[in-house]
């Protein structure tokens, strides 16, 4: 195999995990409040959780209090974290453990701030959130299509019971 072909083959192997996780601009004050988790990728910190919500509250110091709640095996669970804004609108830095922060990227939001697609800094994290416990199927499919176009494997989505 010649060198150029080998390099392009390697690029192809690694680019298959490439996602477009560029955040979109948001108005933070409109984003604050309660969101219902409609779907997510599986990860250990939310595994088997149902009736999941996330609430974002602006604190006097400018930071954002994050309250994630839900039920696992019928038992109420709550995690309280914090988020900081960045110089990039739509990109927050969120922490639920000491000062270890992760990217929280708003990938798509409707004009009325009623539903949102959120990702992280890797293809392992994806959430669909809504201001209501359920979403119209047409809207849900539109969000899923956006996620696919951005390179996410939407077959991995877990739909949350609300």
Pick the more confident residue, 99 or 55: 55
Q: How far apart are CA 111 and CA 130, in angstroms?
A: 13
Q: Give the pLDDT confidence of 8-49 residue by residue, as tens digits.
A: 434 444 444 689 999 999 999 999 999 999 999 999 989 999
**What is the pLDDT of the chain when averaged over all its residues?**
90
- Is pTM beyond 0.85? Reply is yes
Percent of the chain whose predicted confidence (pLDDT) is above 90? 82
Note whether 120 and 104 are within 8 A (CB).
yes
pLDDT value at 3 more than 60: no
pLDDT of residue 100: 87
- The b/e string for 69-92 (b: 16+ C-beta within 10 A; e otherwise) is bbeeeeeeeeeebbbebeeeebbb
């Amino acid at each position: 195999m010649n060198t150029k072909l080998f390099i392009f083959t390697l690029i192809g192997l690694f680019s298959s995990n490439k996602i477009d996780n560029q955040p979109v601009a948001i108005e933070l004050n409109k984003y604050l409040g309660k969101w219902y988790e409609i779907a997510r990728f599986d990860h250990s910190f939310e595994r088997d959780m149902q009736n999941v919500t996330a609430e974002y509250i602006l604190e006097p110091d400018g930071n954002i209090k994050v309250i994630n709640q839900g039920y696992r095996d019928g038992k109420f669970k709550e995690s309280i974290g914090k988020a900081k804004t960045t110089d990039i609108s739509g990109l927050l830095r969120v922490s639920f453990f000491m000062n270890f922060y992760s990217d929280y990227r708003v990938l798509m939001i409707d004009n009325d701030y009623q539903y949102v697609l959120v990702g992280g800094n890797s293809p392992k994290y994806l959430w669909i959130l809504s201001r209501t416990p359920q979403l119209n199927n047409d809207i849900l499919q539109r969000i899923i299509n956006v996620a696919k176009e951005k390179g996410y494997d939407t077959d991995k989505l877990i739909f949350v019971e609300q």
